[in-house]
Amino acid sequence: MEKLSRFLEFSSIDSKLYWRIPSTQGKDIFEVQWRKGHPNPWKFRKTDEIFWKICPTEEVMPTLKSHGVDILTLETKVKYSTLQQVAFANKIVDDAKDLFGRDLVEQAIAENKAFMNQLDDAIKRLVIQRKPNPKKPVKLQLLKN
């Protein structure tokens, strides 16, 4: 689920996603929502409750599990939502190839990958050059507008 959460944060086209998930016992239904770019992107509640419970990504799985949310169903639905976005992105690439030509689109994709690799290498060099301080760990985050 950690990989899916990272994918959502950096690659999701949607700013919000919503799922209805049963409890492990099947008695209750939970509403689970993810919000892109939010400090605590996950929130959830039983369908008969008014107030949402807020949860950071690092704690989402244990928190939902402790409240009785069916984690396997949630993971399946999050994967399905992610794959829908992948299919949509693929359609965009295919349409762009029809409009601009395969070579130009593939060149743009290759240049973007090269830029992202250079950026990743630069960040790694910055982290290595910085003297480690166990009291203040290095935390770098790529932000997108």
pLDDT digits (tens, 9 = 90+) for 81-119: 999 999 999 999 999 999 999 999 999 999 999 998 888
Residue appearing with tokens 């003297």? 131
In a domain, 134, yes or no: no
Higher pLDDT, 29 or 121: 29
DSSP E strands, 47-143: 53-55
Facing residues of 43 across strands? Answer: 33, 54
Residue 26: the pLDDT is 87
In a domain, 40, yes or no: yes
In a domain, 70, yes or no: yes
Confidence (pTM):
0.73
Residues 6+ apart with CB under 8 A from 23: 29, 30, 68, 69, 70
Total number of domains in the chain: 1
- How would residue 67 be classed by pLDDT, with cut points 50, 70 and 90? very high
Euclidean distance between the first and the last CA atom of the chain, given in angstroms as a whole number: 24
Domain limits for position 90:
2-118
In a domain, 132, yes or no: no
In a domain, 142, yes or no: no
